[in-house]
Amino acid sequence: MVESPRWRTRTAVALAVVRNPYAETELALKLLAVLPGAELAEVARDGALHPLVRAVAARLVAGRAG
């Protein structure tokens, strides 16, 4: 389902998958690109998530800020 462009571009679905600590890291990383800045910042601060997912989210937030 998540590989389908129809669902992959829906922010709520992408955020739910990314915030799921049991989601595959590779999938969560792919979905970060569709998240708005506020949601990315939340993901970057979420200690329950994989450290790589948090780090990439933080880098995306920083890149979008300037």
Instruction: Give the integer Cα–Cα distance in Å for 50 and 39.
Output: 16
Q: Where are the domains of the chain?
A: 5-65
Per-residue pLDDT of the chain (66 residues; tens, 9 = 90+): 556 666 656 889 899 999 999 999 999 999 999 999 999 999 999 999 999 999 999 999 999 886
Instruction: Give the integer Cα–Cα distance in Å for 55 and 66.
Output: 17
What pLDDT, on the 0 to 100 scale, is given for residue 10?
Answer: 84
Compute how many other C-beta atoms are within 10 angstroms of the C-beta atom of residue 18. 25
> Amino acid identity, residue 42?
E
What pLDDT, on the 0 to 100 scale, is given for residue 64?
Answer: 86
Instruction: Give the integer Cα–Cα distance in Å for 56 and 5.
Output: 22
What pLDDT, on the 0 to 100 scale, is given for residue 65?
Answer: 81
Asked if 34 and 9 touch (Cβ cutoff 8 Å), the reply is: yes
DSSP, res 4: S
